[in-house]
Amino acid sequence: MPKLSDTMTEGTLLRWCKQKGDKIEIGDLLAEVETDKATMEMESFEEGILTELFVPAGAKVAIGAPIALILGKNETAIAPGTAAQGPAKTAAPAAAAPTISPLFTGRSRSAIPGRTAATSSERIKASPLARKIADARGLSLAGLTGKGTGPGGRIIAADVVHAPLTATAPAAGGTSSVPAILATPITGNPETQIPLSNMRQTIARVLLASKTQIPHFYLSIEIDAAPMVAFRKEFNTTGTKITFNDIVLLATARAAMEKPKVNAAFGNGVIFQYESVNLAVAIAVEDGLVTPVIRDAQKLSLPQISAAVKDLATRARDKKLKPEEYAGGTITVSNLGAFGIDQFCAIINPPQAAILAVGAIVKKPVVNEHDQIVVGQRLNLTLSGDHRVVDGAVAAEYLGALRQLLECPSRLLF
Q: Which is nearer to other proteins, 319 or 388 (CB)?
A: 319
Binding-site member from 26, 50, 68, 130 for other proteins (CB under 8 A): 130
Catalytic residues: 387
Binding segment for other proteins (CB under 8 A), chosen from 96-104, 122-130, 220-228, 378-386, is 122-130
Question: What is the closest distance, in whole angstroms, from the C-beta atom of residue 250 to other proteins in the complex?
Answer: 26
Q: Binding to other proteins by residue 151, rule CB under 8 A?
A: yes
Helix axes 392-407, 244-258, angle to 10 degrees: 130
Binding segment for other proteins (CB under 8 A), chosen from 31-39, 99-107, 140-148, 151-159, is 151-159
Q: How remote is the C-alpha of 80 from its chain's centroid?
A: 39
Q: Which is nearer to other proteins, 18 or 154 (CB)?
A: 154
Binding-site member from 156, 163, 308, 389 for other proteins (CB under 8 A): 156
Q: Binding to other proteins by residue 282, rule CB under 8 A?
A: no
Q: Binding to other proteins by residue 128, rule CB under 8 A?
A: yes
**Separation between Cα atoms, residue 313 and residue 41, nearest integer Å:** 37
DSSP-assigned letter for residue 200: H
The full length of the chain comes to 414
Please give the C-alpha separations between residue 370 and each of 366, 373, 374, in angstroms, as whole numbers: 11, 9, 10
Q: Which is nearer to other proteins, 50 or 139 (CB)?
A: 139
**Separation between Cα atoms, residue 261 and residue 258, nearest integer Å:** 9
**Separation between Cα atoms, residue 47 and residue 127, nearest integer Å:** 26
Q: What DSSP assignment string belongs to 40-95? A: EEEE-S--EEEEEE-S-TT-EEETT---EEEE-TT-----TT-TTT-S-SS-PPP-
Binding-site member from 18, 132, 162, 387 for other proteins (CB under 8 A): 132
Question: What is the closest distance, in whole angstroms, from the C-beta atom of residue 148 to other proteins in the complex?
Answer: 11
Class of residue 368 by CB neighbours under 10 A (exposed 0-12, middle 13-18, buried 19+): exposed
Q: Binding to other proteins by residue 129, rule CB under 8 A?
A: yes
Question: What is the closest distance, in whole angstroms, from the C-beta atom of residue 167 to other proteins in the complex?
Answer: 24
Q: Which is nearer to other proteins, 151 or 365 (CB)?
A: 151
Binding segment for other proteins (CB under 8 A), chosen from 48-56, 127-135, 167-175, 204-212, is 127-135
Bridge partners (DSSP) listed for residue 381: 221, 358
**Separation between Cα atoms, residue 125 and residue 156, nearest integer Å:** 9
Binding segment for other proteins (CB under 8 A), chosen from 153-161, 262-270, 328-336, 361-369, is 153-161
Binding-site member from 131, 137, 259, 403 for other proteins (CB under 8 A): 131
Q: Binding to other proteins by residue 127, rule CB under 8 A?
A: yes
Question: What is the closest distance, in whole angstroms, from the C-beta atom of residue 150 to other proteins in the complex?
Answer: 7
Please give the C-alpha separations between residue 278 and each of 171, 257, 305, in angstroms, as whole numbers: 36, 11, 12
**Separation between Cα atoms, residue 96 and residue 90, nearest integer Å:** 16
Q: Binding to other proteins by residue 157, rule CB under 8 A?
A: yes
Q: Binding to other proteins by residue 115, rule CB under 8 A?
A: no
Question: What is the closest distance, in whole angstroms, from the C-beta atom of residue 278 to other proteins in the complex?
Answer: 15
Sign of CA dihedral 77, 79, 84, 90: negative
Binding segment for other proteins (CB under 8 A), chosen from 123-131, 176-184, 229-237, 365-373, is 123-131
Sign of CA dihedral 117, 118, 122, 124: negative
Chain contacts with other proteins (rule: CB under 8 A)? 127-132, 150-151, 154, 156-157
